[in-house]
Structures are given as structure tokens and as C-alpha cells.
Amino acid sequence: MKLASTIVILGSLLTAGSIQAKWSRIPIIKEKPINTISGPGSNASLDSSSGFGHADSILSSDITASSTVSAGKSFLLINLGKPVLISSSSFVNDGIEGRATLSASADKNGWAVLEEKVFSAADRTVEFKFAGMQAKYVKLELALSKGGIIRNLQFFGAATDKGYAVKQSADGKEGKPMDLINGLGGARVVYAAPKPANGLDTAITYNQFAFPESDEKYRTVIYDFGQLRILNEFASVHSPRPVRFEVFAFDNLPEKEDWRGRMAFDPSDFNNAQPVAVAEDTRGTGNLKAKPAKAVKTRYLAMRWEPEFNPPDFQCYAGAEGMGVVATTNTIIVTNSDGTKSVITVTVGDAHSAGAGDSKVTPANAAQQIAQGQAASSDTTVITVATYALGVDPTAPGATPERTTTTTGTSTVSVSTSGNTTTTTSTTKVVDSSGNIVTTTIKETNTGGVITTEVGQTTTTTDANGQTTTTANTDVTGGTNSTTTTTTGTSGDGNLAGGNTPSPATVTPGTPASSGGTQVNITSP
């Protein structure tokens, strides 16, 4: 009997030890797939629908936004804005039951069925996986024996967050609301415990966690934004059972190296932290939002779910809303004062949270200063100026520039809106070989879909003491005149449906806007 008791006690100690074991850090993925039908970079729109209530909610970046659907037959038809490669889709199911058919088309005339699914009301997530297809239109058809609600419809394919970055102002109030976890905010999962049953790669890539049955009290996910972010609200879509939801913010994540030399996190550190937001789903509705007492400024964010009882599995999606402005890779062709043409390309770096170094979010303490300093070192914004000889068309096949200059610097983006006019200003600063500061500004004014673009460059010369000695406006080739380029037409920039990277907005001098190009007028003072 004594031996048996000893074995039981030892087993209990081992179980307790495993629950409190340190978690191993998950390697950060460089590129993250992006939902092509929602978020600030998407041009997707609802073409038509039948049998759905609040159908526009399907395109919301709010993961808790819902659309009701009736029993019987119904459909949604979504215009992706332009042809895009898609290879998977999913939605969260709140009680509907029946058959779902997903189809795609290039022109709304011929349709190809991608996959059909038969599911029950107990299936929380309905997923479609199929061979990649290029499509401009997608259609979800439902034949239901039981109506209910669907949320968080997603389409994934070639579009990733490479070539995009989100900028925030010092107070986090500039720009538009966006989900900084599932969108372009640079968030990467660094810890998830217990280990997701749907596979770690799937969980961290699509932010979809299917936690297995576990003796652990909590289900936890920790994110690294790569820089300071200001967050205003937190959301959860989860298994429909009562749950307590807590959000923690860490200026510096308390990590230490384990015996293998890998970074690890001790979950007992939560005992010394206070949540910045708490919410409870007491009725088991499967979704909730948590509003902090004040905006949360942090680089590392932890979300923790505590189910009322130990479920056989627990699925959850997370969201974190903040205000921001999307910066994209931008390419434009300008005509210089001497008649030559230059192609200016401002490229957002492809590193995790690229463009982080010039974030205007002001650190509130020393730990946040360190976190932001680390972010600055990851900024890889690049500006390239390729200048062509007089009479050479840069868009012609085989056209070769006379000279090309490539420099790395930092970029900032600001947005202002007045009536139906939105002005986006991108400013990139680099230091040339002589130590001078070269500032390139691209200002886009969108009035009712007509875009006017102005490109300018300023060189600031400093003396040995770092004092400014001269400031000169130049054209993009380094001449003495400033050049303003005005374009009309609609830019394709920032459309996530464009694929892996944003399609550059190319301004071709002399091409009528009606032909798909843009008209350019040159003014030189």
C-alpha cells in the first residue's frame, strides 16, 4: 500500500511539473498569408447575396461580426477586385447545418466548383481546401436544413503581408481601424500552449488554434508585433462554451534561455502580471470583446482563455483592433526637368514588421524604449531611382537605365481626409555617401477615385558638426529644379487581391487614363 501511495504521489508531482514546464519559443515566420476579402488592403466587395442578413459583415475585419443565414438555399457572391490566386477558405459556424458549395469564376459567366462540404451544427469551423485557382469572383452557396450565423469568412492564397507595413501615429488615433493580429500589423505567434492539435504550422500561420483536451487550466497564445503598437479593443471567437478571457501586455517578454540554448517562457510569470482587459462569455455564445480601461501600448501581447470545464477540444481565433495607416511598395515613373525619365520605387522591407523603425508611437518607459530600439534595427525600407536616357521609354521591353541608385532608409506615412478627398503622404529619408539627408516625398490625393500624385525630393547638407548648412529641392536625378508629377486615374496600390506583393502603381507619361494607364503633366518652377 505504501508503495502504491508513493507511485500515486510521484505521478501527481510529475503531472504538476509538466503543467508548469517552460514553453519553448516558436520560430517567427517571415511571411504571413492574408485574408484577401477583408482588411485595409483589400479591394473585395459584396456583389450580390440572397438569404443572408447583414451580408456586408462578411467583409468586415472584425472577427466577431456576424451574418445570419436562413434555412433553405442561399448564396454570397464576392468580387475580389482583380484576379487573385486562392487555395483555401473557411468560416466559423454558429449552428447552421447542411451543405456548402464554394465556386470561383474569372467573369461571373463560367463557374468552377472548388469544393463541397456537408457539415453539422456541431462543426465549429467549416474549411475548404483545393488546388490553387486564379479567380476574380467567388461564390458561397448554402443548402441548409437549419439556419443560424456565420462569422469570419476567409480566403487565402498567394497574398501575404510582404510588401506592406502598418504605421501608427504617436497617439494611435490616426488612420482607420484595423485588426493588427490578423491583418498587416506584423503580429507573429511566439508561444502557444498547450500545443495546438491542428498542427503548429497551421495554427500560427492562420491564427486558428484548435487546442486539445488538456489538464492545463488555460489556453494561451502570445504575440510579438515586432514594434510598439497601440491597441484599443480585443476580440475572441471560440468554441461555444462558457469561458473567461484575459489579455496581458508585456513591454519586454520575460524570456530566458533553456538548457538547449533556446528562448523559453515560464507561464508562472502570469502570476506577477495584471491583465489589461478581461471579459467573460458566461452563456457560451462563442464570441466576445474586451475593452481596456485605456489604450494599450505594447510590443508583446498575451491572450488567455479559461474554459469553465475541461473540454475535449477548444478552438479559438483572436483579434486586436487599433488605428493605423497601410504603407505599401510604391513604383512611379516621372519625367525630369531635362526630359529624361526615372523610375522611383519605394519598397517596404520584407522583414517581420518591416518599416517599424520610424514608428511614431512614443515609448512610455525604458523597457518600451528598448523594444522600439530593437524594432528600428529591423527597418529595411529601400528607395531605388533608375534613370533612363533621353528618349528611352522605361516600360519598353529590354529598356536599360543609364544609372541606378539604391539606398536604405526609413519611411513614414500619414493620411488626412476632408469630404470625399483622402490624401496619403509617404516620406522616405536616406543618408547618401556624403552624409547628406535625402528626403523623397510621394503625395497621393484621391478625390472620388481620381488620384493625383506629386513627387518631390529634398537634399539637406550638414557640416562636420552635424549642423544644417543648405537645403535644396531637386528633381529625382539630382538636378537643380523641383519636379511635380500629376497623375490621374485609379491606382492599383494596396490591393491584397493582387497576390504575393502589391501590384506597383506605374505612372506612364502620355498614356491616356482611359487606356488603363495614367495621364502625367509636368510643372517645373
Q: Cell numbers at residue 522, please? A: 509636368
Does pLDDT of 6 surpass 60? no
* pTM, 2 dp: 0.77
CA–CA separation, 422 and 116 (whole Å): 42
Does pLDDT of 17 surpass 70? no
Angle (CA) 332 336 338, round 5°: 160
The torsion defined by the Cα of 223, 226, 227 and 228, in degrees rounded to 10, comes to: 0
Average pLDDT value for the chain:
79
Does 418 or 151 have the greater pLDDT score? 151
Does pLDDT of 261 surpass 50? yes
Q: Which of 165, 218, 199, 197 is nearest to 380 (CA)?
A: 165
Does pLDDT of 280 surpass 60? yes
CA–CA separation, 385 and 440 (whole Å): 11
Give Cβ neighbours of residue 507 (< 8 Å, ≥ 6 apart).
Answer: 332, 333, 334, 453, 485, 487, 517, 518, 520
pLDDT in tens, 206-258: 999 999 998 899 999 999 998 899 999 999 999 999 999 999 999 989 998 88
Does pLDDT of 18 surpass 90? no
CA–CA separation, 295 and 233 (whole Å): 8
CA–CA separation, 93 and 295 (whole Å): 31
pLDDT in tens, 396-427: 999 999 888 777 666 666 666 777 777 777 77
Mapped onto helix, strand or coil, the DSSP state of residue 7 is helix
The model's confidence at residue 265, banded by pLDDT at 50, 70 and 90, is: very high
pLDDT in tens, 281-303: 999 999 999 999 999 999 999 99
